[in-house]
Each structure stands twice: as structure tokens, then as C-alpha cells.
Amino acid sequence: MGKRDDLIAQYADDLKNKCGMTPDMALLTKVTIGCGPSIYNRDASTVAGGQPAELETVKNNFLMKKLGLSDSPALMEAIDSVIETYGRSERNKFRAVIYYMLVKHFNKESVYS
């Protein structure tokens, strides 16, 4: 297995054990690939849930640009809900896991098909 496969397995484990979700491995793989090389960078691979600027970046670059959603308070509510599900005290909130949960939340799996 390559490094990306190891990371995908780690993300799937987080989804199962920390978020209580059974991951769709095909979708998780596509979301992970969509994150690009950032998954290999220690800082870029995680989302700082307590930093408003970071959450704004997730909203603008992922929800609006990638998923094509319109700006509304519902976007930040969804990000907040996903971070709550992951666990606010969880130190490493992986970007691919957060993005995966947001894709599921907004039923935007079609973006990755």
C-alpha cells in the first residue's frame, strides 16, 4: 500500500471511531484525491476548528468553489456541525474527513462521480 492508501485507511478509521459513520470508501478515496498534495503536509492536512479564518477558507474554497453551493449561514452551520461530530477536542481534524462529511451533509456526492 502507498502512503495515500495508508492515509485513506486512517481517515476511514476516524470516520468510524470518532464520527460514528460507516464511510463510503469510493467517495472517501475521491475526496482524498481531490485534496491534492495537501494531505501529505502536516499543517495543511488538518483543519483548525477553532480558527474562524480557517473555517472561512473551508467555506469559500471547498463548499462554494468545489461543491458549487451559494453563500448562506447554512454553510457555516454545516461546518460547525461537522466539527462538533468530529469532536471539538480532537486535536487532528483531518481535512479529507471534514470534506467527506460536508459532501455527505449536502448530498453532493455527484461532484465526485
pLDDT digits (tens, 9 = 90+) for 57-106: 999 999 999 999 999 999 999 999 999 999 999 989 999 999 999 999 99
CATH number at residue 62: 1.10.238.120
Tell me the C-alpha distance between 15 and 10, whole Å: 9
* All three cell numbers of 102: 460536508
Structural domain of 101: 3-112
Percentage of residues of the chain with pLDDT beyond 90? 96
Structural domain count of the chain: 1
Band of residue 51 on the pLDDT scale cut at 50, 70, 90? very high
Tell me the C-alpha distance between 65 and 76, whole Å: 15
Q: Residue 26: exposed, middle, or buried by beta-carbon count in 10 A (0-12, 13-18, 19+)? A: exposed
* Whether the predicted pLDDT of 1 surpasses 80: no
Taking the whole predicted model, whether its pTM rises above 0.85 is answered as: yes
